[in-house]
Each structure stands twice: as structure tokens, then as C-alpha cells.
Structure 1
Amino acid sequence: MNKRKNLGQHFLKSKTIAKSIVSNANITRNDVVLEIGTGYGILIPYLCKNAKQVFSIENDQNLHLSAKSNFHDYSNLVLEYGDGFNSDHNFSIFVSNLPYSKSRFAVEWLLQKKFSRAVIMVQKEFSEKLSSNEKHKAISVLANYGFRIKFLMNVKKSNFFPIPKVDSVVILLEQKKIISKVLISTVNRVFSYRRKTLQNILKQFGLNSTSKKRLDELSGDEIIKIAQKIVRS
């Protein structure tokens, strides 16, 4: 448990919230669901109720074995042991109570995948970064370009064990565009020079510009277009 806590993993204990999370995923008989982080399996009964197929992947062997013992009677469920972010399953819906330490990585991973929608639980502070329009972050620019983002619910820290230091938020991500790994990497690199003017940023990539604007003066779409220009160069 200490290892999981260090990773920012806190286990949801409210079945009411678990049911609400899955309800917001709008799973149908045509959907293949991917869950990364089986945990104690609180979402599994609700995920399996309507889905065509559910893949649930857990990287803690003890938790994986426990889930296999407890949920062996679901015919549309495949339980796997390993790193779910290395899986190659096709899926239409993604559902996960993400470890806080994996939130950004998971969003960038989802941006590269083809799917319909994702319902994820993240740290409240991270959800605010995603939706921030006042001061751009690389992850907010990428997420808003690739997804329609909808806030679903606040989840108090008392609904988890061990109890985290912060509250969580459940958000819905509906896919608009798939973003390549190279474009994601380029946007992140552009933001590493955020204190510089656009003229000096582009100079780092061997491109010319006379613009004295800084990233905070640009829209998210303008920043994406700059990154696309760098990728094409």
C-alpha cells in the first residue's frame, strides 16, 4: 500500500461515486472499455453491466490476483497484469481513477489514441490546469485542442483510502482530434522557452519571425499552429 501511496494512488471506496463515474461514460453494448488501474475493482461491476468488452489492467500483482479471484464470473471482462499504458487494445471508452502522478502522462497518452470518450478522476489542481485559459500550460493547450473537456463532479478526499491530502475531480474528455507524439513533444519544447518572445522561441528551432509576442498573448490554437509549423520545418 505504501508503494501505491507514493505513486499518488488512493482507492475510491464510494460505490455511489463509482456508479456515477461509469454512468457518465454512457457505455453501450457496442463499446469496448479500457480501464487502467483495476485497484480493488470498484468500477468493474458497473463497467461490465452494459459493455461489449472490458479490459482492466493492473500493475500491482497482488491487486491483479485479487481481482481475478473476485470477478472471475464476468464473461465480458478481461483482467490483465502489467502497465496499461503499454497495452495495444483498441477501445472506444476509457475509464480510470488515475494515480495523481500519472495524470499528465495519461492525458498525453490519450491524445494519441483513437477513442470516443474518457471519464477520468484527477487531482483538483490538475483539472484546473487543463481548463485554464488565463495562463497557458502546455498540457492545457494540448488537451483543449484534442478534447472537449467537461467537468462532472467534485470528489472529497474522504471518499478514498488512504485519504489523500487534496480533493479530486471527475472530468469527461470527448475526442476532437488525435495528436501525434511529435506534435505533443514540440508543444512541450515550445513551452520550455515560454519566457522568450516568439521571435526568440522560433530561433531555437531554426525559424525566423519578427513577432515580439509571448506565449501568454497567444491563443491555444495559435500555439498549436506554431508547433505544427516547427514540425513541418
Structure 2
Amino acid sequence: MNKRKKFGQHFLTSTSIAKFIVNESKITKNDLVYEIGIGKGVLVPLLCRYAKHVITTEIDKKLYDDAIRNFSKLPNLTINKGDGFKNEPEFDIFVSNLPYSKSRIAIQWLLQKKFSLAMIMVQRDFAEKLLTNSMKERRAISVLSQYGFDMKIIKKVKNTNFSPQPKVDSVVLKITRNQIVTKELIETINKLFSYRRKTIQNIVKNFGITIKSDSRLEDMNNNEIIKLAKKISSV
């Protein structure tokens, strides 16, 4: 299997979709823009046209070398090699066509960052999981993202707009920040959901506290889960 396809790496090939993403980002000459995964570079020239400065980080050596060769003359572009989620640049706007396998990592990383707007391309099913109102279908990432962000699907993108072509469609997700979420709270909620089939009183025993309740996580709304997680984190 192709290595990039195995890890969910599908490159956006549509210039019209790229223009839509950049236009909807409302980038100005005061904005610092951060991109993770330059891919084939369909977004970079457009981002640089409007932004004060663009930082893009690419982990793949060949893609990084191609980016240096093709885009290094852009005066307001910095191209870094490495894991973009381990870099700590300050930015106003985050834009990325994420590999599907990195979507969850990206959301948890973004929850801990200060920014004004994020525009990300994700698998449609993943976006629906983030936005779900179903207590049975939601997961830890649903609760966390709905607590930390305001999110909206602003465009559906057919799989024919990528190479190699994935089996599923994608969406452009527009995200604004409600509040920064701590790493500790993220870890606590993830751990809570690893016990989601148990009752609350049995779950909290794993955290060294006592609560008498036969309810399960699926019986609680998001605010109640956040409140429980904060109580656990404070112990």
C-alpha cells in the first residue's frame, strides 16, 4: 500500500476549493497564518497573497524539498521541516488540509491554542462526530470540541478533488475558539470515555473519588461531563 494513502494523506488538487478556503478565512495583512502539511502547495501561494506572514511545517522530506524548490522565493513564507504539532509558533489563523489519520490529534492540539480562526479539511464522518448532538454517538472528542470551539461545516468536498482519491468525502470545517482547554482536562475526558459503558460511581473509582450514581456518561449532557472532569482534575 502507498505509504501516504495508508496514513490518510490525500492531497487537495482543486484550485477553486483552495480559493474558497482562503477567501472564507478572511485573512488580512495583519494576520500570521500557520499551516501544517504543505502537501503539493495548493494553498500556500494564496495564503501568502493575503497574510502578513505564513509559516508552514511539513514532516515528509520529499514534500519539504519540493516546497523549498517551488516556494522559497515567496518573501513572507517560512517553510519548516518536522512535526507541525510539536512546533509552538504564534498564529492568528490556522489553515490545513489534514491527513485523516491526524484529525483527532489536530483538534486536541488546537484546543490548547490561542487563535482567532481555523479552517481545516477533515473527513465528513469525523466532522459529524465532532458536531453530533446524540449522547449515545458522541465521544470524548465531541464533548471537548463542543466545549472549546464554535464549529460549522461550510463546504462539502467530493473525493474527486484529491489525489490519491479517498473512498470518502471531506468537509471544510470553520472553527472559532470559545476557550482554551487544558491538556489535563483533555486527558481526563479521554479517560472518562474509555470507561463509558460503566456507571459513574464505578468510573470515578478509577480516579480515587466517590460519587453515588447509577447514571452513565450517555445520560449526562456535555456541561455535566465537563463539570465531572474538572472535579476529577482538582483532586
> Where on the TM-score scale, by shorter chain, does this alignment land: which range?
over 0.9
User: Where do 5+ consecutive residues of structure 1 fail to align?
Assistant: none
- Helix, strand or coil for the counterpart of 2:198? coil
1:69-84 paired onto structure 2 within 5 Å: 69-84=69-84
AA aligned opposite 2:96: S
1:186-201 paired onto structure 2 within 5 Å: 186-201=188-203
- Helix, strand or coil for the counterpart of 2:118? strand
- Mapped to 2, the partners of 1:30 and 1:230 lie a distance apart of 41
Question: What displacement does 1:226 show?
Answer: 0.4
Query: Normalized against structure 1, the TM-score is what?
Result: 0.97
Question: What displacement does 1:179 show?
Answer: 0.7
The equivalent residue for 1:177 is 179
The equivalent residue for 1:231 is 233
- Mapped to 1, the partners of 2:121 and 2:3 lie a distance apart of 20
1:44 and 2:48 correspond:
no
- Mapped to 2, the partners of 1:181 and 1:95 lie a distance apart of 22
- Count of aligned pairs between the two proteins: 233
1:124 and 2:129 correspond:
no
1:205 and 2:207 correspond:
yes
Percent identity over paired residues? 55
- Helix, strand or coil for the counterpart of 1:85? coil
Query: Normalized against structure 2, the TM-score is what?
Result: 0.96
1:143-154 paired onto structure 2 within 5 Å: 143-154=145-156
AA aligned opposite 1:231: S
Question: What displacement does 1:30 show?
Answer: 1.3
The equivalent residue for 1:219 is 221
Equivalent in 158, 165, 168 of residue 166 of structure 1: 168
Question: What displacement does 1:72 show?
Answer: 2.3
AA aligned opposite 1:158: T
- Mapped to 2, the partners of 1:63 and 1:190 lie a distance apart of 38
Divergent runs of 4+, >3 A: none
- Mapped to 2, the partners of 1:138 and 1:88 lie a distance apart of 25
Question: What displacement does 1:164 show?
Answer: 0.5
- Mapped to 1, the partners of 2:228 and 2:11 lie a distance apart of 40
Question: What displacement does 1:216 show?
Answer: 1.0
- Mapped to 1, the partners of 2:221 and 2:49 lie a distance apart of 42
- Mapped to 1, the partners of 2:187 and 2:169 lie a distance apart of 30
Of 24-33 and 104-113, more deviation after overlay is shown by 24-33
AA aligned opposite 1:121: M
